[in-house]
Amino acid sequence: MAVNCPVRQSPICPIQHKERAMRSRTIWAAAYSFSLLTVATTGRELPAADVTKAQPPTVAVSLPVQRQIIDYDDCSDSLIVGAARPAQSVKIVPRATGYLKPAPSKEGLEVKRGDVLFEIDPRSYQYQLELAQRKLDLEQARLKKATSDYLRAKERAKAPGTVDQLDLDNWQAAEDVAVASVDVAKANVEECKANLGYCHVTSPIDGFVGRYDLAPGNVAIENQTALATVTSLDSMHVDFWIKDQTLQRLRGVDKNGRTKPTKENGFTILVGLYRGKGYPYQGTIDFIDSDVHPDDLCPGTHARAVVENPKSNDGVRPLAPGTQVQIRIPLGKPHAALFVARRAIVGSVYPGSVECDLFVVRADGTVERRRVGIGVQEDGMVEICSGLKAGEVVAIDGIEQLQPNLKIRPTVVPMPIAGEE
């Protein structure tokens, strides 16, 4: 049998009743605050806040700059690299033998043609010259006697039977021998003078004297001992590789094989220091090899250009023997091209890049990310070869925050000048 035991309810104490009341008030306060927050976020002021956030951003835009340029062959995908070498280089070898005296000039300096570089002890050559001069005096005295004997014989021969014809012929021959002996002695004197002059070793060209190869006190041997090397610096030769395609354009051959004259711009090159800024020097191609060498990457041939190398205001020449240079070959006539500042390019461009992206602003104020072809890159400006027309506007500031089809408030400003990044 089940027994129902009545449950005894414990009475609520005043303290517990107070705590329950406080919890109820807290719950109601939280509910009230949540309702206020809901009203604030869903009330009538919401559209105004959204309108403020949706205002189009202000973006600086510019028109591309038009310039007259010339097409160049700098390989687009790689630079044409060459090496400078002296147009003339002469190894100094003495034409006299003797002990080398202290040089009147110092190595490592520029000299003029005819400047004395070395001196060889001249005493032995001076003795030879004096001896040759004495021999000349002797032969001249013999000539004088032979001439006098012949003249007297001729006078006596006027009287019949006084002088035999054979004797007269002998006196005439003796005079002729004396004349020849004098000529030989004179030539010997001139030779000795030349040998004495060779004791002063001079520079045959204007140029730079390299390191001396023989110290004073050593014996320099005629036509054998190398003393130094003089290289010309006023003009330099630049050797480089020219592509077959470029060679055909220089020679005036078009795509159909027809030849057209290009003398006015076909054989001029622009030269700059390797990986340097710009091409400040100009040269002329003076030699192109006759053979075109096959190459999987760049078939072409060897070429050489002459580049003037004047001194700057501080006396320094820009090109030294062995300097690596980069080369541009102008092709065709000047034509109009569009340029934008490098800062308008989306992302990065590198030497040899052929494409990049721009943000072009449409008429309705929205932006379009467009792929364009690029060409020359110099002085902070990039040539736009294709994909952009004159009169179209491009964004130049804040392009990192732009997205395709985003509406903006364009502010037209001048395109930044070259070099302003």
Q: Are strands 58-62 and 409-412 parallel, antiparallel or unpaired?
A: parallel
CATH class (in words) of the domain with range 92-230: mainly beta
- Token pair 């130094």 in the structure block, residue: 228
Could you tell me where in the chain the CATH 2.40.50.100 domains are found?
92-230
DSSP assigned state of 157: T
Provide the 3-class DSSP secondary structure of residue 286.
strand
pTM equals: 0.59
**pLDDT at residue number 23:** 54
Rg (CA), the chain: 48
Q: Are strands 300-308 and 235-243 parallel, antiparallel or unpaired?
A: antiparallel
Going by C-alpha positions, the residue among 377, 368, 379 that lies closest to residue 420 is 379
Could you tell me where in the chain the CATH 2.40.30.170 domains are found?
73-86+234-334
Could you tell me where in the chain the CATH 2.40.420.20 domains are found?
60-69+335-412
CA dihedral sign of residues 392, 396, 402, 406: negative
What is the rounded end-to-end Cα distance, in angstroms, of the chain?
A: 100
Q: Which CATH number fits domain 60-69+335-412: 3.40.30.10, 3.90.550.10, 2.40.50.100, 2.40.420.20?
A: 2.40.420.20
Homologous superfamily assigned to 73-86+234-334: Efflux pump adaptor protein, beta barrel domain (2.40.30.170)
pLDDT tens string for the chain (421 positions)? 344 444 334 444 444 444 554 555 544 444 444 444 444 444 444 444 444 456 889 999 999 999 888 877 654 445 678 889 999 999 999 999 999 998 888 888 999 999 999 999 999 999 999 999 999 999 999 999 999 988 988 888 888 877 788 888 888 899 999 999 999 999 999 999 999 999 999 999 999 999 999 999 999 999 999 999 999 999 999 998 888 877 777 776 444 444 444 443 347 888 998 888 778 898 988 888 888 777 656 778 888 999 999 888 888 888 988 899 988 888 777 888 999 999 999 988 886 678 999 999 999 999 999 999 998 887 788 999 899 999 999 999 888 889 999 999 999 999 987 545 4
Q: At what angle do helices 165-197 and 123-156 cross, to 10 degrees?
A: 160
Q: Are strands 355-361 and 89-92 parallel, antiparallel or unpaired?
A: unpaired
- Using CA atoms, how far residue 50 sits from 38, 283, 404, in Å, is 17, 65, 21
Q: Provide the b/e sequence for 177-199 (b: ≥16 CB within 10 Å).
A: ebeebbeebbebbeebeebbebb
